[in-house]
Homo-oligomer: A and B are copies of this chain.
Amino acid sequence: MEFSEYFPVWGRLESAQQNRILASLVSRQVKKGTLLHGASPDCTGLLLVKRGQLRAYILSEEGREITIYRLFDRDLCLFSASCIMRSIQFEVTVEAEKDTDLWMIPAQVYKQIMEESAPLSNYTGEVMAERFSEVMWLVEQIMWKSFDRRLAAFLLEESALEGESALHLTHETIANHLGTAREVVTRMLKYFQSENLVRSGRGRVEIVDEAGLRRICDG
């Protein structure tokens, strides 16, 4: 059974627990653009990505979005099953950003096993802490760094100067230009890449979505 290879604490569950999961598991193949979990209080279940890409975002009343994190191969989506913890008081929307193969674990089954299994509960805590860290990073960016704007502005300026969208620049060089650390540049470029704004390679940054960068620039 393939699922066991994708689920990190599988070997630390009792066989009765494993069987309960296997018996309730639903395998799904979804097309890019499929809405997997809406901002409604229903409890879709946990989603484990086999192959593909999901995006989790929050939605304002006016319909504006902000991506809070992305999920790739082997990532587990907890917040599509917010009913597993009563203290989760927010709703995210989850959609497939690429064609995606995934498993859905019903929330009630997961919750029951989590209540009796320290390994599963600790693993769930780690997954939540990871997402929490991503959101805290976002908060910092929004609140005071504005480094996204500065980096976007810099890339557009360079591209205009060079007259092309593929820039031959290392992260180090960019960091020096902007008076920051290389790690900061690397992390933000990774974020830009996940937003399909740039493609970043060794000593090279290519602008993929100029209009998108301009929107960041203009705040």
Q: CB-defined interface of A123-143 with B at 8 Å, one 1/0 digit per residue? A: 011111111110111111011
Complex-state Cα separation, A79 to B201, whole angstroms: 35
Complex-state Cα separation, A128 to B62, whole angstroms: 29
Q: Can you list 13 pairs linking A and B with CB atoms under 8 Å apart?
A: A85-B125, A87-B129, A87-B133, A88-B129, A89-B130, A89-B136, A90-B140, A117-B118, A121-B122, A125-B125, A128-B128, A131-B132, A139-B142
The answer to whether A129 touches B58, judged by C-beta atoms less than 8 angstroms apart, is no
Cβ of A21 under 8 Å from chain B = no
CB neighbors of B among A84-101 (8 A): 85-90
Distance (whole angstroms) from the CB of A149 to the closest CB of chain B: 15
Determine the interface band of chain A, counting residues with CB < 8 A from chain B: 35 or more
Name A's B-contacting residues (CB within 8 A): 58, 60, 62, 64, 66, 68, 85-90, 114-118, 121-122, 124-133, 135-140, 142-145
Q: Which residues of B contact A64 (CB under 8 A)?
A: 143-144
The answer to whether A133 touches B88, judged by C-beta atoms less than 8 angstroms apart, is yes
Q: CB < 8 Å: which of B87, B116, B126 contacts A85?
A: B126
Most chain B CB neighbours (cut-off 10 Å) among A60, A114, A144: A144
The answer to whether A87 touches B135, judged by C-beta atoms less than 8 angstroms apart, is no
Complex-state Cα separation, A90 to B129, whole angstroms: 10
The answer to whether B66 touches A143, judged by C-beta atoms less than 8 angstroms apart, is yes
The answer to whether B58 touches A139, judged by C-beta atoms less than 8 angstroms apart, is yes
Distance (whole angstroms) from the CB of A87 to the closest CB of chain B: 4
Distance (whole angstroms) from the CB of A16 to the closest CB of chain B: 15
Complex-state Cα separation, A204 to B116, whole angstroms: 48
Could you list 10 further interchain pairs (A-B, Cβ under 8 angstroms) beyond the known A60-B145, A90-B140, A115-B122? A66-B143, A87-B126, A88-B132, A89-B130, A89-B136, A89-B137, A90-B137, A114-B122, A132-B135, A139-B142
